[in-house]
């Protein structure tokens, strides 16, 4: 007999979906973070693979009908999702600001500076 409260299953579903979305978000934000620049390509690909596996495993755990989440499992998954949420906030605050079309200011300024330099060279030679 299962003594798990009825609210655990729908709560687990919401927490797992949030965790899968956060795993993809953190993976995306990590690409632009300074930690990614110092890691070797192998470590970068292993990190990406780990985030994808976490997202897929959480989604699969929702659709798999052969088990029912228990309160301790919900607690473990919620703790992991909480960790992802803290990382998502930290990465979001560390990332450079973007303009209204989503381009990073640093890249925009750098590109603009190059364009201005090229135009100045052309105007001085012509």
Tens digit of each residue's pLDDT (9 = 90 or more) over 32-86: 887 788 889 999 999 999 999 999 999 999 999 898 899 999 999 999 999 999 9
**78/126 same-domain check:** no
Domain shared by 50 and 75, yes or no? yes
| Residue 45: domain span | 8-95
Name residue 104's beta-bridge partners.
98
Do 56 and 105 have their domain in common?
no
Identify the H or E element spanning 33. Answer: none
Same domain, 60 and 75: yes
Check pLDDT > 60 for residue 103: no
| Alpha-carbon span 32 to 14, nearest angstrom | 28
């Amino acid at each position: 007999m299962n003594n798990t409260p009825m609210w655990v299953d729908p709560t687990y579903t919401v927490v797992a979906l949030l965790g899968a979305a956060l795993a993809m978000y953190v993976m995306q934000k990590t690409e632009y973070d300074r930690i990614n620049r110092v890691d070797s390509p192998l470590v970068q690909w292993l990190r990406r693979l780990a985030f994808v596996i976490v997202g897929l495993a959480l989604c699969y755990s929702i659709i798999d009908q052969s088990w029912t989440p228990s309160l301790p499992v919900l607690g473990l998954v919620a703790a992991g999702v909480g960790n992802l949420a803290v990382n998502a906030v930290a990465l979001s605050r560390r990332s450079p600001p973007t303009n209204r079309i989503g381009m990073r200011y640093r890249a925009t300024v750098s590109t603009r500076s190059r364009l201005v330099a090229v135009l100045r060279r052309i105007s001085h030679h012509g």
